[in-house]
Amino acid sequence: MQIMPCRAVGGPLQGGSRFAATQWGRKWWLLWVLVVVTLLASAPLTHAQTTRLPSPPPYQLLRFEEDYRYLRDPGRRSDLWDPLKCTALNDAATWYLSLGGEVRERYEYFHNTNWGQGPQDEDGYVLQRYMLHADLHLGEALRVFGQLKSGLENERSGGPRPTDEDKLDLHQAFLDVTLAATTSTTLVFRGGRQ
């Protein structure tokens, strides 16, 4: 392949059509290579999606109702956070710890709040809620659950309302003792704060 330099002296470009054809060919060749590489790279992903494990159960509104015993089998872990959801504390994995949390951010703005009476807020404000929990299972019969909560407010004219801010609070802390269990029902004693 020979590329001729373009000359701008005296008339039409000499070798310009050959240069343009070469550039056009390079663009198509590069596009073709990108398409082939993309198809080859996506082929294993397509195969992996068809052989994927069943999807995990959805997150519950009440976090103490979540059950991550199925993650005791490392082969069923598919998410980045799965090691935190089920950390084995003994060799048989009958004792395990589950850690979790959630963050809720909410922006609020009211125009002419209280019909213009009292402090008015021109920019709005942000409410935040952070919750962290730990769920300790000591065999099938004993469980300890604890959850901390922190609610914060930023930039509200007139300061936070009583329900806006609770900087650090013990939201839940309870002990479960399973007294009897059959295939259809379970009798559990629960004591603590819930």
Q: How confident is the model at residue 145 (pLDDT cuts 50, 70, 90)?
A: very high
Lowest mean pLDDT among 1-10, 102-111, 166-175, 180-189: 1-10
In this predicted structure, the answer to whether residue 139 has a pLDDT above a threshold of 60 is yes
* pLDDT beyond 80 at 118: no
Report pTM. 0.63
Cα 177-178-183 angle, rounded to 5 deg: 165
Burial class (CB in 10 A: 0-12, 13-18, 19+), 32: exposed
Task: Determine the 3-state secondary structure of 112 from DSSP.
Answer: coil
Weakest-pLDDT range from 24-28, 133-137, 177-181: 24-28
CB 117, CB 144: distance < 8 Å: no
Beta strand 95-108 with 87-88 is antiparallel
Residue 151 pairs with which residues in a beta bridge?
129, 166
- Predicted confidence band of residue 141 (pLDDT cuts 50, 70, 90): very high
Q: How many CB atoms lie within 10 A of CB 135?
A: 22
pLDDT at 150: 93
For the chain, percent of residues with pLDDT exceeding 90: 25
Residue where the block lists tokens 């997150």: 59
Reported as a single tens digit per residue, the pLDDT across 166-177 is 888 999 999 999
- For position 47, what pLDDT does the model report? 47
* Residue 65 pLDDT: 87
N-term to C-term CA, the chain: 78
The stretch 67-72 carries a mean pLDDT of: 86
> Is residue 161 within 8 Å of residue 137, measured between CB atoms?
no
Mean pLDDT of 3-9: 47
Domain spans of the chain? 14-52, 63-193
Q: Regarding predicted confidence, which is higher, 31 or 124?
A: 124
User: What span, in angstroms and rounded, lies between the C-alpha atoms of 82 and 48?
Assistant: 19
